[in-house]
Structure 1
Amino acid sequence: MDTLFPLPDPDALYRALTARDPAFDGRALVGVTTTGIFCRLTCPARKPRPENCRWFDSPAAALGAGFRPCRRCHPLGPQADGDPVIRRMLAALTADPTRRWSEADVADTGMDPSTVRRAFRRHYGLSFLELARQMRLRAGVGALRGGAQVIDAQLDAGFDSASGFREAFARLFGHPPQAMTQGAPGLVADWIDTPLGGMIALADARSLHLLEFVDRKGLGAELRAMSAGAGGRIGLGRTAVTEAAEAQLADYFAARRPGFDLPLTLHGTPFQRAVWQALREIPAGATVSYGDLAARLGRPTAARAIARANGANQIAIVVPCHRVIGADGTLTGYAGGLWRKQALIDIERRLARGRG
């Protein structure tokens, strides 16, 4: 099994289970063969006998083996909450979100930087330092949206130099901050926090044009293309569409909403738009292969073209390209990271069970 945290031997795991050791929360789960249920190792339920235990490194592995999630410890919930490394470093980050962190700073907290890095990559798909930089950049977005001068926003975001701040925005949005605060353009960009990381929403008064995780490769190129189509710039801010997207995403991640009813503008060729519309017709909790999708579109030999269209989707989650998997049932490439794809599929399985 290829994981960042290979499972210890069963005896060690069983000792952790009987001790309800929180150090294993988020790293190991137990499936009880006599009940068909899987739990966190901190679950308060009566402990099974060792011979009735199966050990898993993720909810996806336990579900794939046919186990159901426990209703007492909720193993499909946010496991990062139970990781003491995550809790401690997030508390430090929350206390000072604009701090410019280094590995030496992490070491000064008494934590091993490599342990912190692996823990954050496992739970969030990015390192603690990358998350800290996102927090600082988010602070800068908010300051600029509120009308702050560029130098003030730079200081609020915790960047050591104005040039570093401008370079970060240029990489993210495709222009320096000044170009994004001049005039009142129709398209405006803003940050939306989600349990899987920050997202950039690009909207006008009528529809959502883009929704991407901020660490997606190529986001700057996408925003530059959008900016060119909008007359040379994108503004900072939000519309009623942005507010609706944020509210619906919150409901989705809480497993209260299986789909979205946001107005969308899909920027693509007629073929790409047809693929994206077909994706929106896949119900939450279901997955299809590229071949399945090609057959649905009456293009049985176009699986590769459909895969390319899937990868070109610019409205993540709402246009659910994460519901496409390999023909053998394995996860395939996802621009937001396979860890996010698995998390989205797990959320939608919960939604599907709730409807049942």
Structure 2
Amino acid sequence: METLERKSEFYQALIEKNSEYEGIFYVGVKTTGVFCRPTCPARKPKFENCEFYQTAKEALLASFRPCKRCRPLSHPNQVSEVVARLVEAVELNPEKRWKDYHFREMEVDESTARRQFKKRFGMTFVEYARSRRMGIAMKQLRCGEAVIDAQLAAGYESSSGFRDAFSRIMGAPPALADNKNMFKAAWIDTKLGPMIAIADEKALWLLEFVDRRGLEREVEKLRTKTKSAVIPGSNSILQSVEKELQEYFDGKRTEFKTPIRLIGSDFQKSVWQKLRVIPYGETKSYFDIASSLGKPTAFRAVALANGANQLAIIIPCHRVIRLNGNLGGYGGGISRKQWMLEFEKKNK
């Protein structure tokens, strides 16, 4: 969510338990799976194990659960008794789908809960509970559990938490969707971890590692711009890219032939076209790409366009490094970037 400098600032505030940052950020700890307030009394994690979020909803969608020590969503000095009780109830059964009678059983007024959650957290209680379920489902997806794979292949027949989360992320169920604007999403296992591919009948629109932060926003962007629904399934395009990815990771393919479609500005598209011609096994710097576009001072803009690429591996943004030889960033993780560069160099 933030630059390295900003993340460093937040981490220092976390170490110092600086109360001035309360409400400014939440920290997700990858080793424990919880997210905390800046002043949490728990032992501090290493910098590399921290993910920082501006809102609690972002942390929930990233599959983190509220810390039981600092209670980021129910601290007695910050929220009402109603909010605290409801948050605790969700944590006791995070996959529960809340109905009207559940509020009556707790003797809680539903409109009061909605208003107080909205005022404190920027989302209603129902949105909070849904985000918690969605975060759990996405975590299962990222872990590649066999049951999730089966549910993805089966579509909407399952009544599990994954069905609820995936359908809300991807769009309307088939019965409600316009068949003229329908995308299919498939789960593809690779040597570097599972990926999600989204395509219509003519081209591939998105290919990302499922643990990439912000994947949900990328899918939402695709849905909004194309005014389409995205549902689990398969088609010839998805079968093609799965086959080509297998060949790539077997060292038998150096370029991809599956048709693709790009969503972005004219500048972004021009950068992505330059990325596509970087030879297999070689690298270019952000400065090199900017210079080839006739804009040598636009290397930062090139870096941003590089990071906005929604077709991992096929548009080889992993082949772009810094001018000094450092790897730079990569949405799928630096370790994956380094692996692919070494793998391609070896198999060139």
TM-score, normalised to structure 1, is 0.55
- With over 3 angstroms needed to count, the CA separation of the structure-2 counterparts of 1:214 and 1:295, relative to structure 1, is same
Please give the alpha-carbon distance, in whole angstroms, between the structure 2 residues aligned to 1:303 and 1:296. Answer: 11
Q: Deviation digits for residues 196-223 of structure 1, max 9, x if unmatched?
A: 1111111111111110111111111111
The answer to whether residue 135 in structure 2 is matched with residue 139 in structure 1 is: no
Q: Percent identity over the alignment?
A: 39
Check whether the contact 2:167–2:173 (CA below 8 A) recurs between aligned residues. no
The match for 1:350 is 346
Check whether the contact 2:321–2:328 (CA below 8 A) recurs between aligned residues. yes
The match for 1:206 is 202
2:152 maps to a residue whose letter is V
Aligned to 2:207, what secondary structure does the other structure show?
Answer: strand
The answer to whether residue 229 in structure 2 is matched with residue 233 in structure 1 is: yes
Aligned to 1:234, what secondary structure does the other structure show?
Answer: strand
Please give the alpha-carbon distance, in whole angstroms, between the structure 2 residues aligned to 1:192 and 1:256. Answer: 18
Please give the alpha-carbon distance, in whole angstroms, between the structure 2 residues aligned to 1:181 and 1:203. Answer: 19
Check whether the contact 2:141–2:210 (CA below 8 A) recurs between aligned residues. no
Please give the alpha-carbon distance, in whole angstroms, between the structure 1 residues aligned to 2:217 and 2:311. Answer: 15
Check whether the contact 2:199–2:237 (CA below 8 A) recurs between aligned residues. yes
The answer to whether residue 187 in structure 2 is matched with residue 179 in structure 1 is: no
In the TM superposition, residue 261 of structure 1 has moved relative to its aligned partner by: 1.4
- With over 3 angstroms needed to count, the CA separation of the structure-2 counterparts of 1:181 and 1:195, relative to structure 1, is farther
Aligned to 2:262, what secondary structure does the other structure show?
Answer: coil
In the TM superposition, residue 143 of structure 1 has moved relative to its aligned partner by: 1.9
The match for 2:164 is 166
- With over 3 angstroms needed to count, the CA separation of the structure-2 counterparts of 1:135 and 1:289, relative to structure 1, is farther
Please give the alpha-carbon distance, in whole angstroms, between the structure 2 residues aligned to 1:266 and 1:322. Answer: 17
Please give the alpha-carbon distance, in whole angstroms, between the structure 2 residues aligned to 1:223 and 1:293. Answer: 27
Q: Deviation digits for residues 164-189 of structure 1, max 9, x if unmatched?
A: 6523654xx344xx635644443211
Q: Deviation digits for residues 131-168 of structure 1, max 9, x if unmatched?
A: 54554432220121xxx5231xx2xxxxxxx4x65236
Single out whichever of 246-255 and 227-236 deviates more from structure 2: 227-236
User: Residue 150 of structure 1 is aligned with which of 147, 158, 169?
Assistant: 158
Correspondence 1:9-48 to 2 at 5 A: none
Check whether the contact 1:245–1:262 (CA below 8 A) recurs between aligned residues. yes
2:173 maps to a residue whose letter is A
Please give the alpha-carbon distance, in whole angstroms, between the structure 2 residues aligned to 1:342 and 1:132. Answer: 22
Aligned residues: CA RMSD: 2.2
TM-score, normalised to structure 2, is 0.56
In the TM superposition, residue 224 of structure 1 has moved relative to its aligned partner by: 1.0
Q: Deviation digits for residues 108-130 of structure 1, max 9, x if unmatched?
A: xxxxxxxxxxxxxxxxxxxx988
The match for 2:135 is none
Q: How many residues get paired?
A: 208
Q: Deviation digits for residues 223-280 of structure 1, max 9, x if unmatched?
A: 1121123334212212211111011111100111111112110100010000000000
User: Residue 240 of structure 2 is aligned with which of 240, 244, 248?
Assistant: 244
The match for 1:217 is 213
- With over 3 angstroms needed to count, the CA separation of the structure-2 counterparts of 1:190 and 1:322, relative to structure 1, is same
5+ residue gaps, structure 2? 1-138
Please give the alpha-carbon distance, in whole angstroms, between the structure 2 residues aligned to 1:169 and 1:273. Answer: 30
Please give the alpha-carbon distance, in whole angstroms, between the structure 1 residues aligned to 2:141 and 2:230. Answer: 25
1:149 maps to a residue whose letter is E
Aligned to 2:186, what secondary structure does the other structure show?
Answer: strand
Please give the alpha-carbon distance, in whole angstroms, between the structure 1 residues aligned to 2:143 and 2:307. Answer: 28
In the TM superposition, residue 312 of structure 1 has moved relative to its aligned partner by: 0.2
Q: Deviation digits for residues 82-122 of structure 1, max 9, x if unmatched?
A: xxxxxxxxxxxxxxxxxxxxxxxxxxxxxxxxxxxxxxxxx
